[in-house]
Amino acid sequence: MSKAKAFIAIALVVLCTAFFGFMDVCGLGADKAGSAKDIILGLDLAGGVSITYQAVGEEAPSQQDMDDTINKLKQRVEQYSTEAQVYKEGTDRITIEIPGVYDANEILTELGRPGTLYFIRQYASDGTPNYSYDSATDDYYLNYTIDEIQADGKIVLVGTDVKSADAGSVTNSLGNSEIIVQLVFNDEGTEKFRKATEEAYANGETIAIYYDGSFVSVPRVSAVISEGRAQISGMEDYEKAEKVASTIRIGGLSVELEELRSNVVGAQLGSEAIRTSLIAGVVGFAVVVIFMIAVYYVCGLTSAIALSLYGVLEILLINGFGITLTLPGIAGIILSIGMAVDANVIIFARLREELRTGKTVESSIKVAYSKALSAILDGNITTLIAAAVLWIMGSGSIKGFAQTLALGICLSMFTAIVITKLLLKAFVAVGLSDPKWYGVAKEPKRIDFVGKRKPFIFGSLAVIAIGIVVLVLNMNMASRGHSLNFSLDFLGGTQTTVAFDRDYSMDEINSLMVSDIEKIVDDASVSVTKVQGSNEVIFKTKTLTAETREEMAEYFENNYGIDAQSIQAESISSTISAEAQRETIIAVLVACVCMLIYIWFRFKDIRFGASSVLALAHDVLVTLAFYAIAYISVGSTFVACMLTIVGYSINATIVVFDRVRESLKEAEPRTKLEDIVNDSISATLSRSIFTSLTTFIMVVSLYIFGVSSIKEFALPLMVGILCGTYSSICLAGSMWYVFKTKFTKKAK
């Protein structure tokens, strides 16, 4: 690269960073299109619409009907935002909170109407198919509109004709157990279905079950069904059958929802909380930049420029992809900047190693990127696989987390592999070619990590065992009652609505009232929402006893002159349902299996994958032990915290294993396996420590400047980062060594 081209390259990168930063702040045109202000913000940052429905009818709805309605409404509101919340209020009311939406009338009709389930004959009256199969998407599609099929008389039943739908199992004609969905029709549905199956069976047709724009199931009619009971066979597993049964039940709900009230609610957190979080980001970023320049000199300067570009691009793309941003999301962005240093540190460490051999800076850069590329790609692709699984299988905020994670990974690889490399070459071309500007690595001292594996392993097992004991003790303590300190996100709680005599700002509420209420209810995760256009404030806490409710009423009466009789308190259900919790656990397990398979494929040895997943499990269990021992609140950020630790841990472990794989290829035949592992860990030690330190700096900044909800996210995350560093250095390599020496047969 010539000197002129080098100056142009540096100038272009700096100008692009400045331009994208300008776009983030100012946008384009008078309406500032594309600026950060256009990002969809969550309820905690910007507020939105809150709608409460009342179930109406002569009979009170059953618990199952209410749960199914909530489940389906959650699926529907995700089209507005993955951060939308749906929960039960009292026994027969459902509240929906949607961030970034401010016109309740636009969505009232859509959300308040139970969906219609249709049973559709395969062929129209003229012999053409009503629906067809698309092999490319592995799904069916309609050839006519529902109205056209209805007019043709080929909709044979609707959801209200179904009395019940349940997943179950039967013994088939071969004596094997088979998962099925059992349908029971009412009297009218029984007669309709008898006629429909009589005609369909004679013609060898299917009858499709269609709901809310998609096909639930397309079973073939194998007999005339006249007794009012039908079975859908061919289910993959019980979970699939239960999902089909639940959807059919929802489509057949007789629950009628009526709007009880709708409000535009303000941000749950005041401007002060946002301001302090941004300060945390600026301070953390500045400290990381200073650290990188102080340790890596010119390399550190290139990483500072690349990280700046990374940050402004991430904000721009979050806006472009329409990702809903919450305060934990801001924390995630700040955290991702720290984690983005990882790829740079891997490259810089390799560069210094090459300079130690006497190569020129230009040659060292080329070799460093060549050797570091596999570790960067394997680490990031593994985490990207986890993000993809969570995106596909997760729900609600998990999808939002997966989107942000995937975006951060892709941007991190781009800035490290393309931008940092371009800048390094450019700086060499303009004259900074002396190795002293980059630093020369010293010969690493071999540390006997493998030899100390027993104290490391038994020490970790002891911490995990203590955590398990504390979990059990917490569950049996009268003052706690739960293994973890679950917040209202998991357990539900009490919603207290107070109408003040004047309009308090969120900053005033947070500074004047929240700390007092937290002491009264003994809950550090009180959620506050203002109702715009009124003086009403909604306080959500854990479930309150009659005595605590009375104490809260006295507090407002004595300090703010509120009539205790005017204070409304209602029980509310959890915002993270049991089904969502189950889906998240399944998604994480599937992600771990997929990561194990990828590592097995890339490293040609399943023992690498098994060791990685065990190290990952160790980090999660130790962090869980910390949650139990410290008994800090477990809320919606708990899932994000654990998922962040999973991604961070697997990335750090793969860097070590990449060096082990490389060393195995280059080692002399008589070299001890124990020495290879120890040398590999020692060679990557500085990378592991420096990457953890930069990430730790960002999280400490969040903890120092953040509000209470951010502190609850940052504190266990600090534990997870330290734990992930420890397991990558002290456990992962040793476990692989044990597997390698104890199970000598090579994986095929």
Tokens of 84: 């939308």
**CA–CA dist 439, 532 (Å, integer):** 58
Percent residues over pLDDT 90 in the chain: 23
Confidence at 172, pLDDT banded by 50, 70, 90: confident
- Is residue 385 a contact partner of residue 405, using CB atoms and an 8 Å limit? no
Q: Of 159, 78, 52, 150, which Cα lies nearest the Cα of 114?
A: 159
pLDDT band, residue 478 (cuts 50/70/90): low
pLDDT of residue 735: 93
Q: Provide the CATH topology of domain 493-571.
A: Alpha-Beta Plaits (3.30.70)
The answer to whether residue 576 scores a pLDDT higher than 60 is yes
* Lookup result for tokens 């890339």: 602
Q: How far apart are CA 544 and CA 553, in angstroms?
A: 12
The pLDDT value recorded for residue 748 is 42
DSSP 103-156: -THHHHHHHHSPP-EEEEESB-TTS-BSEEEETTTTEEEESS-HHHHHHTT-EE
The single residue listed with the structure tokens 């002891």 is 462
Please say if the pLDDT value at position 334 is more than 70. Answer: no
**CA separation, residue 731 to residues 147, 459, 627, 650, 676 (Å):** 63, 11, 22, 13, 15
Least confident range of 224-228, 373-377, 520-524, 625-629? 520-524
CATH code of the domain made up of 117-252: 3.30.1360
pLDDT average, residue stretch 25-43:
74
Q: What is the DSSP string of 599-655?
A: HHHHHS-HHHHHHHHHHHHHHHHHHHHHHHHHT-EE-HHHHHHHHHHHHHHHHHHHH
Q: Is the dihedral of CA 141, 146, 152, 155 positive or negative?
A: positive
Of 405, 390, 382, nearest in space to 590 by CA: 390
Q: What is the pLDDT of residues 405-453, one digit of tens each?
A: 788 888 888 898 899 999 999 999 998 889 999 988 888 888 999 999 9
The one-character DSSP state at 220 is B
User: Is 60 exceeded by the pLDDT of residue 137?
Assistant: yes
- Top-confidence residue, 192 or 250: 192
Q: How far apart are CA 361 and CA 363, in angstroms?
A: 5
Residue 404: band (very low, low, confident or very high) from pLDDT cuts 50, 70, 90:
confident
pLDDT at 550 over 70: yes
The pLDDT, as a whole number, for residue 745 is 54
Ranges 161-165, 329-333, 558-562, 616-620: which has the least confidence = 329-333
DSSP state of 535: S
Average pLDDT of span 301-311: 91
Q: Do domains 117-252 and 493-571 have the same CATH topology?
A: no
Q: Is 237's pLDDT higher than 80?
A: yes
**pLDDT at position 747, please?**
43
Domain extents for the chain? 50-106, 117-252, 271-465+578-742, 493-571
Residue type, 329: G
Query: What average pLDDT does this structure show over 712-730?
Result: 89
Q: pLDDT confidence of 109, banded at 50, 70, 90?
A: low
Distances (CA, A) of 670 to 667, 673, 739, 743: 8, 9, 20, 20
pLDDT tier for residue 359 given thresholds of 50, 70 and 90: very high
